[in-house]
């Protein structure tokens, strides 16, 4: 039997961090997506224990300043794309305001570290969300395009096909066929 699950990555990650770090006697304060503060000093031994524990869940501790800022850019983009409210400003302005750096600096750093552009990362995040929304089968393609701030379904379809190799409609048909085969 197959079951389709919907979950919130932010809530899931927060619970995992609180639960697992609590098991080793640490009480984190979750500041924002990807940022945790501890009120007490953490020994080198506890740090190693925490690193091993979090690596099991694909969570790693970032220590390099450039990597930290790149991770903040990724987290801010993920937060921006997954926001319930559509953005009223361009993503470049949003990132600049949230991270207190010029967009040129953020863009150059991101490209230097990740070998891709911020714009491409935003598109990939939007397409991942579009795929999840299609799988959840609650919104039409028009509603998905609007939610993701696309000017039209055609624009969404073009970017979707560029990233996945298939159109959103073809993706819908594949999901529908899998569901049909699962329940038969």
> pLDDT per residue over 20-73, tens digit each?
888 888 888 877 767 788 878 878 888 888 888 888 888 887 777 888 899 999
Q: Is the pLDDT of residue 115 over 90?
A: yes
| Mean pLDDT computed over every residue of the chain | 86
Round to the nearest angstrom and report the end-to-end CA distance of the chain: 10
pLDDT recorded at residue 120 = 95
The predicted pLDDT at position 1 comes to: 65
- Residue 75 confidence (pLDDT) above 80: yes
Q: Which CATH architecture has domain 121-183?
A: Orthogonal Bundle (1.10)
64-77 per-residue burial string, b: 16 or more CB within 10 A, e: under 16: eeeeebbbbbbbbb
Q: Where are the domains of the chain?
A: 7-61, 121-183
- For 152-169, the pLDDT digits (tens) are 999 999 999 999 999 999
């Amino acid at each position: 039997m197959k079951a389709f699950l919907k979950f919130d990555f932010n809530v899931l990650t927060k619970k995992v961090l609180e639960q697992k770090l609590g098991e080793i006697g640490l009480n984190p304060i979750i500041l924002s997506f990807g940022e945790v503060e501890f009120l007490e000093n953490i020994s080198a031994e506890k740090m190693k224990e925490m690193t091993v524990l979090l690596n099991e869940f694909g969570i790693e501790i970032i220590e390099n300043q450039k990597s930290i800022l790149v991770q903040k850019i990724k987290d801010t983009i993920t937060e921006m794309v997954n926001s319930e409210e559509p953005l009223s400003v361009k993503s470049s302005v949003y990132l600049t305001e949230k991270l207190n750096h010029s967009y040129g600096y953020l863009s150059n750093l991101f490209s230097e570290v990740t070998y891709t552009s911020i714009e491409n990362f935003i598109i990939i995040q939007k397409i991942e969300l579009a795929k999840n929304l299609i799988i959840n089968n609650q919104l039409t393609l028009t509603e998905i395009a609007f939610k993701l701030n696309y000017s039209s379904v055609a624009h969404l379809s073009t970017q979707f096909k560029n990233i996945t190799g298939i159109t959103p409609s073809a993706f819908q048909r594949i999901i529908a066929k899998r569901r049909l085969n699962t329940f038969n």
